[in-house]
Amino acid sequence: MRRPPERRVVLADVARLAGTSEATASRALKNDPRIGETTRAAVRAAAAKLGYVPNAAARSLRAKRTHILGLLLDDLADPVHGKVAAGFEAAAASQGHAVFIMTGLHDPDREQRALTAFVEHRADGIALASCVIDPADVHARVPAERVVFVQPDYPRLADGREPPARGVLRSNDAGGFAMTVRHLVEQGYRRLAYVGPGSGSSDALRRAAASDALAGTPAARMRFLDSGVDGWRDPSDVAGALAEDPPDAVVCYDDKLALALLDRLRSTRLLVPDDLAIVGFDGIPAARESRPRLTTVDVPSVELGRRAAEMLMIAGRDGGRLPPSEILPVHLIVGESTPRRTAGERRQAPRVAVASRRGAGE
């Protein structure tokens, strides 16, 4: 087994072995067209023989470009964020860029530290996905041309400003929620409920979108339930509230919550979808395997990541500028959890014996 070289071999070593100057060796290795064919071959041979690996730090220091992209996201263990990361990494790697990934975990201080790390390493571009940090705080530390926000709920709805023309990448979450609500209405559901964490700008956006979509249907009503931020871990309370006064259909903040709720509802007298239709959001794989299959909205997470990296790399080229902000389309996936429903179809008597609100089915 060949060992890695003890003392790191540097360009000077390559140049010496090839019998050229450092400058020539440097040029030869990056295929500068004005280097002779024989010289180039000699340099390449020397580099290969010595196992030369250029030092990125030195290169960056001199060239003022690092070919490093930073990605700050909320949680790598979350499948949706993981897909964003996967798309980002794939796009970056395909163009020879390295990727720093840090997680914010919903903690503004952590996000600030991540930003510091990116700036220290002089990342050519930075993407922030689902971050809680204020965009203004980011722009105070990083030139706007080097940052992309991957954030459907950008900016906070509260301040009413339009998002900037560049540097924002969104999926059409509002449109997606409107689609699910319209779908429910078309399928015959009228008494709807929205269940979400109850806080966070993303929840606010989804809640508003769902609500707005009902504006044209006077007969329809929507009420709102809070699951809490960690509600998807144990939505017993929500399941209980639903069981006490069941709507016709539930619109969930995301698939994670919808699937947990679906599971929890098995402990109540409510049968999905017969008594209660349910829709999720995100299109995670588990939604395709649940029973009943979940009606949901497919969000192009990989694509969001990929596009973010591409935007940053375009802006990173010299003279390059950040492309215009984009909104990527989402797609309704109709599953089995929202069947067509005609008035009065609802079961009058539960098929399943009443179960305790907690614990059954454990």
- Residue 142 C-beta: closest distance to DNA, Å: 16
Shortest distance, position 70 Cβ to a copy of itself, whole Å: 9
Q: Which of residues 99-128 bind a copy of itself (CB under 8 A)?
A: 99-103, 110, 113-114, 116-117, 119-122
Residues paired with residue 196 on neighbouring β-strands, in sequence order: 226
Please state, in angstroms and rounded to a whole number, the distance separating the CA atoms of residues 360 and 265.
10
DSSP 162: P
**Across-strand partners of 333?**
296
Please tell me the distance from the alpha carbon of residue 52 to that of residue 61, in angstroms, as a whole number.
Answer: 19
> From CA 139, how far away is CA 121, in angstroms rounded?
17
Give 184's Cβ-side CA count (13 Å radius): 37
Site string for a copy of itself, 139-178 (x = CB under 8 A): xxxxx-----------------------------------
Residues 303-322 binding DNA (CB under 7 A) are none
Among 227, 219, 226, residue whose Cα is nearest residue 191: 219
Indicate whether 23 belongs to the interface with DNA (CB under 7 A): yes
> Which residues lie closer than 8 Å to 225 by C-beta, 6 or more apart?
193, 194, 195, 196, 238, 241, 242
User: Are the C-beta atoms of 337 and 262 separated by less than 8 Å?
Assistant: yes
Stretch 33-72: interaction string toward DNA, x if CB under 7 A: -xxx-xxx-----------x-xx--xx-xxxx--------
Minimum separation from the CB atom of position 188 to a copy of itself (A)? 22
* Residue closer to DNA, measured from CB, 52 or 232: 52
39 binds, among DNA, a copy of itself, none (CB under 5 to 8 A by kind): DNA
Contacts (CB under 7 A) with DNA, residues 249-278: none
**Partners of 98 in the beta sheet?**
68
Interacting partner of 216 out of DNA, a copy of itself, none (Cβ under 5 to 8 A depending on kind):
none
| Contacts for 323 with CB less than 8 Å, ≥ 6 apart | 166, 311, 314, 315
Task: Please choose which of a copy of itself, DNA, none residue 314 contacts, taking the beta carbon within 5 to 8 angstroms, the exact cut-off set by kind.
Answer: none
79 preceded by cis ω (within 30°)?
no
Residue ranges binding a copy of itself (CB under 8 A): 1-4, 51, 53-58, 60-61, 66, 75-79, 81-83, 85-86, 89-90, 93, 98-103, 110, 113-114, 116-117, 119-122, 136, 139-143, 256, 259-260, 262-263, 266, 285-286, 288-291, 293, 302, 336, 361
